Amino acid sequence: MSLHIFYDNKFKTSAISLNFIQKLDKSSATVNALLPLVIKRASSHYPTTISLQKKLKELYGAELNAGIIKRGDYQIINFRFDFISESYAKNIDIFKEISKILEDVVFNQSSFNNEYFNQEKENLKLYIASLKNDKRSYAIRRLQEIMFAEQPYAICEEGFEDDVDKITIRDLTASYKKMLSSPLEIFVTGNVDQSDAEGILLPENYFGFSESFESINNKAESAEVTEYEQISQSKLSMGFLTSIESTSPKSSALSLYNGIFGGGAYSKLFNNVREKLSLAYYAGSRVDRFKGAIFVNAGIDKANKDLAVREILNQHQDIIDGKFSESDVEAAKLSRIMMLNSIQDSQIAIEDYYLKQILSGRGTSENIATAIELTNKVQSSDIIDAAKTIEYKSQYFLTNGE
């Protein structure tokens, strides 16, 4: 079943999120990124952007967002409708109106407007170039490209600037057909009527994601790269690799390792790199479960690079050596549990959580209560075992000067 309905009348809005799932590939990445940009411009019933936007505005400012989501090696073409729910929309059958627009825009495009196509090609090029603007996230992106070079994961989910110009309308049409025959996972959340949700007209041949989950290949490069830009604060990112897969029973221990290491204000990175040594305003880590990777990032002074790297590696070693307390474990558990309990308070968080579950082969059967139970069961020794599987691999440093 790939239509997932999460009814909750505490939300004032309803949301429909459509996710077409494909593997990241150099030959298709760019045209896939272009597709949602052109699709959301117009449709058969709304042949101009202004007519579609006017209609959405009338529906109490309903939003249509379209773009790409990257999860592991997957490039997901996402369309999301976000609108106020029935009870607040006076005299409008809003769910029905949105469903009609959805069917038209997403499933029944007949021909793409040539001018819109050309405009969105320019926009895509600008967007890819702009990924360098936020230096903090750019430093993580570069680390990922270096650490997983030659693997699908290193492919930018928005494609390549140099590949945009050669895309033709024919290419786009072909990729649209391919999108429609890709696995599709739909989430409907909020104050929704079950029968309304099930009434969305989906194409006959659609099907959900059921690829068997590929195990982590445990392959990553060991490399250290420094690049230069005219910036005030240098950005350091470091990548670690683990063999623990997201379906492994050790996965919860890995999450708690990350909590203790760099998960928040209670973590070793925050308390040592920032508070004790005053080296940084932000210093933290996060796990990408699909790749078994842990990414650390910190904003520091150029002169303190070696000190920061040493301190980060020391903190990791400390966990392997068991140099953390029961209260550190407790803090990491409570923080993770709080995060898990909070998921139900946000429609986007619900969609994201269950999409990740589906992509890692767990379906939507492992619910949040189970995740909490597993978290509580983790012991210090499990965390040490998890830490021992983690190896430092690569580093990226963005700094000033030459």
Partner 1 sequence: MQFTTTHNSDLNETIFEGTHESGLKVIVMPKEFHKSYAIIGTKYGSINDNINDKKLPDGIAHFLEHKLFEQPDGTNAFDSFSKTGANSNAFTSFTNTCYLFSSTSDFDENLKILLEFVFHPHFTNENVAKEQGIIGQEIKMYEDDPNWQVFFNMLGLMYQNQPLSTDIAGTIESISHITPEVLNECYSHFYSPNNMVLAIVGNVTLDEIENCIPKLENKNTKISNIFLDSTIDLIKEKSVKLPVSSPLFLLGFRDKPEGDTQKKEAISELALELLFGQSTEFYQKAYEQGLINDSFSTESAIENNFAYVAIGGESPNPKKFKEEVSKFLSSKIDFNDADIKSAKNYLVGNHLKQFNSVERIGHALVNNAMRNTILFDYFATCEKITKNDVISYINSVITPDNMVLSIVEPI
Interface ranges with partner 1 (CB under 8 A): 10-13, 49-50, 53-54, 56-62, 82-84, 88, 115, 119, 122-123, 126-127, 129-130, 132-136, 229-233, 264-266, 270, 274-275, 278-282, 299-301, 327, 330-331, 333-335, 337-338, 341-342, 344-347
Q: Phi and psi dihedrals of 204, rounded to 5?
A: -55, -40
Smallest separation (angstroms) from partner 1 to the CB of 264: 7
Rounded Cα gap, residues 138 and 294, in angstroms: 16
Task: Please name the residue that has the structure tokens 């909070």.
Answer: 342
Neighbours of 344 (CB within 10 A): 15
Smallest separation (angstroms) from partner 1 to the CB of 357: 19
The b/e string for 6-32 (b: 16+ C-beta within 10 A; e otherwise) is: beeeebebbbbbbbbbbebeeebbbbb
- C-beta of 184 vs 256, nearer to partner 1: 256
Q: Phi and psi dihedrals of 3, rounded to 5?
A: -110, 115
- C-beta of 291 vs 305, nearer to partner 1: 305
Smallest separation (angstroms) from partner 1 to the CB of 343: 8
- C-beta of 198 vs 330, nearer to partner 1: 330
Task: Please name the residue that has the structure tokens 């809003």.
Answer: 94
- C-beta of 293 vs 340, nearer to partner 1: 340
Smallest separation (angstroms) from partner 1 to the CB of 40: 10
- C-beta of 54 vs 219, nearer to partner 1: 54
Q: At what angle do helices 114-130 and 169-180 cross, to 10 degrees?
A: 80
Smallest separation (angstroms) from partner 1 to the CB of 120: 10
Smallest separation (angstroms) from partner 1 to the CB of 208: 27
- C-beta of 62 vs 188, nearer to partner 1: 62
Rounded Cα gap, residues 347 and 353, in angstroms: 10
CA-CA-CA-CA torsion sign (54, 55, 61, 64): negative
CA 59 to chain centre: 29
- C-beta of 274 vs 291, nearer to partner 1: 274
Smallest separation (angstroms) from partner 1 to the CB of 131: 8
- C-beta of 88 vs 207, nearer to partner 1: 88
Smallest separation (angstroms) from partner 1 to the CB of 230: 5
